[in-house]
Structure 1
Amino acid sequence: MAQTRKLFHCHFKIKLPVCFGESLIDQCFELLEKIDTNYNSYQPGSYFDNINRQAGNWVRVDDQCIRMLQTLRLVSELTQGSYDITCMPLIRLWGFYSQVNEDVPTLSELQKTLVKVNYRSVFINGNDVRINPGQEIITGSFIKAFAVDKVVEFLKAQGVTDAIINAGGSTIMALNDEVHPHWNINIPDAFVHGQYPSRITISNQCFSLSGRLNNHLVIKDKTYGHILNSRTGFPVSTVQVGVLTQNAFLGDVLSTALFTVDKNEAVHTIKKMKQHFDFNYFRIEEDGNKISDTCF
């Protein structure tokens, strides 16, 4: 038994044993819609939208926002700022929200915009959050995964031990029991549409995938991926990153963060991350070179 609906700018699919009935899936989507309304930076009146709209002022948020921001800040520290949730001005500058973009930003434009991008300027005081004027947080790298985790919590509370949640193909969370010990996941080719050259099995885990094949700009015949190094202001040459974690939020954050890191810093950064987080990964560069844990 499964349902698919459009949420968080992607197709969200939930599959459960038929014995639980359609009403439980409906409740899951109601929960997802509530999280979208309350936390998605694209939703007017959400916590993160209020932070953005009231930049320069303190905004009261809930405990879950604070916990997310604390983890996000640590990941930004570990990547030396290449991963930064205040990168929205850079994304706009590159034209990822424009119908047409014919020119690469000039160095002057990049320098003026980079001044607005600084995770250290996301200030926390108890349950109050403030960013500097001109800054803007984007939740795209973590909010749908946060929602997946909340659905998993809800399903477990209802006694569900066998389920899979697929958010856009880039966040896939599995619940497993002895009757159904694992799910098979096909990993898409980093360079060729419609090809799935490898497969992994997951059990009570999340597989998170970041890639540029389906999300990029072409400016004067050159392809630029949608994930930027927020320290330099330029799209990175990484092609694909996959991460295995115990929860979806961390998986999506780490897959994006590892994507942003310059290839010369990748191995060192991964070592630092593994001192704080439990995860497995693979990363594929523009030239096809791959680094990974043995499970990949």
Structure 2
Amino acid sequence: MNYYKQYLLISIFWLIAAANGFSQVKLKKQVTLMGSVFEITLVDRDSVQANQHIVEVIAEIERIENLISEWRPYTQISEVNRNAGIKPIKVDREVFDLTKRAIQYSRNSQGAFDISIVALDKIWKFDGSMDTMPSADVIRSSVAKVGYKHIVLDSAASTIFLELPGMKIGFGSIGKGYAADRGREIMKARGITAGIVNASGDLSTWGSQPNGEPWKIGVNNPFKSHQMVRVLHLNEMAVATSGSYEKYVEINGKRYSHIINPITGYPATGLTSVTIYGPSAEIANALSTSIMVLGEKEGKKLIHNFPNYRFIFITDKGKVVWDKRKHE
């Protein structure tokens, strides 16, 4: 083989190698979106391309926030909330479908998950100032405007109507998971073979690291600082964690989570942390929130209805309980 042919073959080899991902960079960027820190990691051809694609992910998350935020006055959800008890509001099909799925999550959990909980009267304080229980009457009245059964959807008209005056809905419980899933979806459509969209612990992954290894996601132990109870090895997967380890109140030696039961008005007890992993961060979000309210026994019953999802529970006493089922 002469020198020219040898050089040409070597050149073709490296062109093919580059096309197949042998020449890749991993770029990571943090940005505050939806009131949380998002960390976006992409494996791309070079840092310039990776940065451009990260900008696209950020734009997608901002677009979603401008549709569903209950804090921004111009969003469709804010318009729905302003017209509670007055009239239905027409929304984009994307917003309608997200609300429809949220109602289904409520049905699945017998009301332990409820996007109308944002109308809850804030009678529980998690700043260290609370040392006595509110009265039963005060607790009962705090959920007067909460109830997913009062969210009325009209599919043909694409409208949302909140039946009770003063009622509100919000997507703090699944919005970040939905945004992480959408970030992954649009990057895969762009041909980006690997990455993570991490919304403060609620994250979607796909592909592998540049060295071929799966993504490694640690699940922290809130009772043992700097210790992980498990490291998940993920490719196409999502993870969501709900917990009371950062915001809670202790009264008479009992820990009460900042996650409130939408039906009773009482804070969740029994579980300090719930991590769910499976295909969708949105669904994992809904399940982790629901199970914090339901507790260990009922939570296991719920997640067994979702065969593609697994759990790691940490109880208020520090016991670690994890799913023994294998992924099929």
Tell me which residue corresponds to 1:75: 105
Q: Does structure 1 residue 256 correspond to structure 2 residue 285?
A: no
Tell me which residue corresponds to 2:229: 197
Verify the 8 A CA contact 1:55 1:135 in the aligned structure 2. Answer: yes
Q: Does structure 1 residue 16 correspond to structure 2 residue 42?
A: yes
Distance 2:273 2:33 in 1: 23
Distance 1:193 1:91 in 2: 33
Secondary structure at 1:2's aligned position in 2?
A: strand
Alpha-carbon distance, 1:194 to partner = 3.0
Superposed CA offset, 1:48-102 (max 9, x none)? 2222121112111111222222222122122211221111233623246x89556
Distance 2:258 2:295 in 1: 15
The one-letter amino acid of 1:28's match is V
Distance 2:121 2:115 in 1: 11
Q: How does 1:1-296 map onto structure 2 within 5 Å?
A: 1-18=27-44, 19=46, 20-56=49-85, 57-90=87-120, 92-95=122-125, 101=130, 103-126=132-155, 127-131=158-162, 132-168=164-200, 170-177=201-208, 180=212, 182-217=214-249, 223-237=255-269, 238-271=271-304, 273-274=305-306, 278-294=308-324
Alpha-carbon distance, 1:159 to partner = 0.8
Alpha-carbon distance, 1:113 to partner = 2.2
Deviates more, 1:155-164 or 1:39-48: 39-48
Distance 2:65 2:128 in 1: 25
Secondary structure at 2:116's aligned position in 1?
A: coil
Distance 1:12 1:73 in 2: 26
Secondary structure at 2:228's aligned position in 1?
A: coil
Verify the 8 A CA contact 1:82 1:232 in the aligned structure 2. Answer: no
Superposed CA offset, 1:163-189 (max 9, x none)? 112111x21211105963510111100
Secondary structure at 1:229's aligned position in 2?
A: coil
Superposed CA offset, 1:121-170 (max 9, x none)? 111012100112121213111111111111112111211011112111x2
Secondary structure at 1:52's aligned position in 2?
A: helix
Alpha-carbon distance, 1:295 to partner = 6.0
Verify the 8 A CA contact 2:151 2:161 in the aligned structure 1. Answer: yes
Distance 2:274 2:295 in 1: 13
Q: Which runs of 5+ in 1 are unaligned?
A: none
Secondary structure at 1:251's aligned position in 2?
A: helix
Q: Percent identity?
A: 23
Distance 2:81 2:128 in 1: 24
Alpha-carbon distance, 1:31 to partner = 1.8
Tell me which residue corresponds to 2:4: none
Alpha-carbon distance, 1:233 to partner = 1.2
Secondary structure at 2:32's aligned position in 1?
A: strand
Verify the 8 A CA contact 1:164 1:173 in the aligned structure 2. Answer: yes
CA gap of 1:266–1:23, structure 2 versus 1, over 3 A, is closer
Distance 2:88 2:130 in 1: 35
Q: Which has the larger radius of gyration?
A: 2
The one-letter amino acid of 2:151's match is V
CA gap of 1:192–1:246, structure 2 versus 1, over 3 A, is same
TM-score by length of 2: 0.81
Secondary structure at 1:83's aligned position in 2?
A: coil
Q: Which runs of 5+ in 2 are unaligned?
A: 1-26
Secondary structure at 1:129's aligned position in 2?
A: strand
Structure 1 segments (4+ residues) deviating >6 Å: none
The one-letter amino acid of 1:209's match is T
Distance 1:63 1:280 in 2: 30
Verify the 8 A CA contact 2:43 2:209 in the aligned structure 1. Answer: no
TM-score by length of 1: 0.89
Verify the 8 A CA contact 2:287 2:303 in the aligned structure 1. Answer: no
Distance 2:272 2:121 in 1: 18
